[in-house]
C-alpha cells in the first residue's frame, strides 16, 4: 500500500479489500462522529452524467464510462463548532425629512445613537480539516444535514477512502472566530432598520463558550485529466449536491459566436437601411 500522509482508509488495488490504517484515526485523531454515505456509486454516475448534459457547451467527449469508474467515495475531515459569543455594537443612525412650503424647501436631519448588545448562539459551524488544493471544491458541497451525524465507528469506513485532518483546532480557530464575528455583526445590523443611513462606530465579539467536534463527512470525488488539463468533480455523499467544472467545446462556442455575430450584423443592416 502506498498512501498520502493524510490517508486513513483505502483498499487494495488488486483484490479491492478494504484497508483501514487505524493508527491514523486513533488517539487525538479519533473522529467524534460522521455522516454515512447515503448515495451509491451507480446513482452518482447517473447524476453526474445528467449534470453534465445540462451544460450546453460541454465537450461531449469529456465524460465516458471509463472515467466514471475512477469515482472514489471519500470521508473528509471537518471541524464542527458550537459556540456562544457576547456581542456589542455602537452605531449612528440618520434620518432625513424633506418638505416644501411655497418656494422654500426644508431639510431636517435627525441623528440617533444606537447601542446593541446580546449573546449570539452558533450551531455547527463547519470548517475544513484538510488543507490541500484538491479539496477546496468541498466548500461547494455545503450544507450537510448534520442531524444525520452518528457516533464514529470504523465499520463505516469499509469500502471507502478516508482522510485524517492536517488542520488542528488552533489553526482553524481564527476562521471560526471570523465567521462568528461577521454573522453576529450582520444580525445586530439587521436590528437597526428604520433609519436612512446607519454607520457602525464600534463592534466587539467575545466568545463565551466553544465546543469543538472532529467529524468525517462523505463526498464522491473524480479527478480527470483531459487534453492535458486536470478537472475536479465532487458530490456531497449525503445530499447529491455537485461542484466542479467542465471543458467547453470550441466548436459549440464558435457556433454561438457566429450566430450572435450574424444576428448583430443583420440588426445593423436593418438599422442602416432604415436610416438610409
Query: In the chain, how many domains are there?
Result: 2
Q: How far is CA 270 from CA 8, 258, 265, 267, 273, in A?
A: 67, 18, 9, 5, 5
pTM passes above 0.85:
no
pLDDT tens sequence across 197-242: 999 999 999 999 999 999 999 999 988 777 777 778 899 999 999 9
- How many degrees, rounded to 5, is the angle at CA 231 between CA 51 and CA 63? 50
For residue 177, being part of any structural domain is answered with yes
My answer on whether 203 and 135 are in the same domain is: yes
1 inside domain: no
Here the cell at position 56 is: 450546453
Same domain, 236 and 261: no
CA distance 192 to 195: 7
- Give the rounded percent of residues in the chain with a pLDDT score beyond 90: 52
115 assigned to some structural domain: yes
Q: Are residues 104 and 80 in the same domain?
A: yes
143 preceded by a cis bond (ω within 30 of 0): yes
User: CA dist 204 to 5, 177, 185, Å?
Assistant: 40, 12, 9
Name which residue leads in pLDDT, 141 or 66.
141
Q: Is there a single domain that holds both residue 269 and residue 156?
A: no
Answer yes or no: do 172 and 269 share one domain.
no
pLDDT above 50: residue 259: no
Compute the average pLDDT of residues 243-263.
52
pLDDT value for 225: 76
Mean pLDDT, rounded, of the chain: 82
Is 2 within the bounds of a domain? no
For residues 244-257, average pLDDT: 53
Same domain, 256 and 137: no
Domain range for 262 is 250-276
38: in domain: yes
Q: If residue 150 lies in a helix (H) or strand (E), which one and from where to where?
A: strand 150-151
**Are 269 and 241 in a shared domain?**
no
Same domain, 37 and 83: yes
Closest CA to 113 of 93, 131, 85: 93
Q: Nine-digit cell at 266?
A: 443583420
Are 96 and 116 within one domain? yes
Same domain, 56 and 37: yes
Confidence check: pLDDT of 273 > 60: no
* pLDDT of res. 276: 43
Tell whether 64 and 166 lie within a shared domain: yes
Residue 185 has what DSSP assignment?
A: H
Whole-angstrom Cα distance, residue 213 to residue 228?
Answer: 40
Neighbour count for residue 207 (Cβ, 10 Å): 15
Is it the case that residue 9 has pLDDT exceeding 90? no
Same domain, 230 and 207: yes
Rounded Cα distance, 160 and 25, in Å: 14
SS3 61: coil
Residue 97 in any domain: the answer is yes
Amino acid at each position: 500500500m502506498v498512501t498520502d500522509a493524510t490517508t486513513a482508509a483505502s483498499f487494495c488495488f488488486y483484490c479491492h479489500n478494504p484497508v483501514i490504517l487505524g493508527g491514523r484515526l486513533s488517539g487525538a485523531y479519533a473522529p467524534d462522529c460522521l455522516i454515512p454515505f447515503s448515495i451509491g456509486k451507480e446513482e452518482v454516475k447517473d447524476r453526474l452524467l445528467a449534470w453534465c448534459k445540462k451544460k450546453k457547451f460541454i465537450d461531449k467527449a469529456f465524460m465516458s464510462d471509463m472515467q466514471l469508474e475512477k469515482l472514489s467515495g471519500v470521508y473528509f475531515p471537518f471541524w464542527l463548532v458550537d459556540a456562544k459569543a457576547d456581542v456589542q455594537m455602537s452605531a449612528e443612525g440618520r434620518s432625513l425629512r424633506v418638505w416644501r412650503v411655497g418656494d422654500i424647501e426644508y431639510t431636517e436631519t435627525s441623528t440617533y445613537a444606537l447601542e446593541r448588545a446580546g449573546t449570539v448562539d452558533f450551531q455547527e459551524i463547519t470548517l475544513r480539516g484538510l488543507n490541500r488544493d484538491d479539496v477546496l471544491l468541498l466548500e461547494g458541497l455545503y450544507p450537510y444535514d448534520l442531524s444525520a451525524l452518528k457516533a464514529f465507528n470504523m465499520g463505516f469506513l469499509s469500502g471507502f477512502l478516508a482522510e485524517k485532518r492536517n488542520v488542528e483546532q488552533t489553526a482553524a480557530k481564527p476562521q471560526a472566530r471570523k465567521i462568528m464575528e461577521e454573522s453576529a455583526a450582520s444580525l445586530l445590523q439587521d436590528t437597526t432598520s428604520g433609519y436612512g443611513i446607519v454607520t457602525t462606530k464600534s463592534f466587539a465579539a467575545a466568545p463565551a463558550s466553544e465546543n469543538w467536534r472532529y467529524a468525517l463527512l462523505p463526498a464522491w470525488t473524480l479527478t480527470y485529466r483531459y487534453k492535458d488539463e486536470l478537472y475536479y468533480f465532487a458530490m456531497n455523499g449525503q445530499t447529491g449536491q455537485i461542484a466542479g467544472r467542465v471543458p467547453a467545446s470550441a466548436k459549440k462556442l464558435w457556433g454561438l459566436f457566429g450566430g450572435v455575430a450574424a444576428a448583430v450584423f443583420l440588426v445593423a443592416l436593418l438599422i442602416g437601411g432604415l436610416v438610409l
